[in-house]
Amino acid sequence: MYMRCSEILRRRAEPIWSKVLDHPFVLELYSGRLPLSKFRYYVIQDFNYLVTMVKVFSIVAAKAPDINHAKIALELAYGTVTEEMANYVRLLSELGLTVEDVLRVQPNPTNVAYMNFLIATAYSSDYWTLMATLLPCFWSYEEIAERHKEKLDQNPVGVYRKWASVYLSEPYKKIVKDLRDAVDSLSIDSECLWPGFELATKYEYMFWTAAYSEEVWPI
9: in domain: no
Q: Cβ atoms within 10 A of the Cβ of 24, count? A: 12
- The domain in which residue 91 lies consists of 15-213
218: in domain: no
Question: Which of 14-23, 34-43, 86-95 shows the lowest mean pLDDT across its residues?
Answer: 86-95
83: in domain: yes
Average pLDDT of the segment spanning 78-86: 73
Which range in 89-93, 108-112, 175-179 is most confidently predicted, on average pLDDT?
A: 108-112
47 vs 131: CA distance, rounded Å: 20
pLDDT tens for each residue of 136-156: 999 999 999 999 999 998 999
57 vs 69: CA distance, rounded Å: 11
Closest CA to 72 of 88, 60, 83: 60
Instruction: Answer whether residue 81 shows pLDDT above 80.
Output: no
202 vs 51: CA distance, rounded Å: 20
Q: What is residue 72's predicted lDDT score, i.e. its pLDDT?
A: 87
Domain total in the chain: 1
DSSP 165-219: HGGGSHHHHHHHHHHHHHHTTS---HHHHHHHHHHHHHHHHHHHHHHHHT-----
176: in domain: yes
CATH number for 163:
1.20.910.10
Q: What is residue 82's predicted lDDT score, i.e. its pLDDT?
A: 67
Average pLDDT of the segment spanning 75-97: 81
4: in domain: no
pLDDT tens for each residue of 176-204: 998 999 899 876 778 999 999 999 999 99
Instruction: Answer whether residue 90 shows pLDDT above 70.
Output: yes
2: in domain: no
Q: What is residue 78's predicted lDDT score, i.e. its pLDDT?
A: 78
Closest CA to 105 of 217, 206, 203, 200: 217
6: in domain: no
185: in domain: yes
77 vs 53: CA distance, rounded Å: 8
Instruction: Answer whether residue 1 shows pLDDT above 70.
Output: no
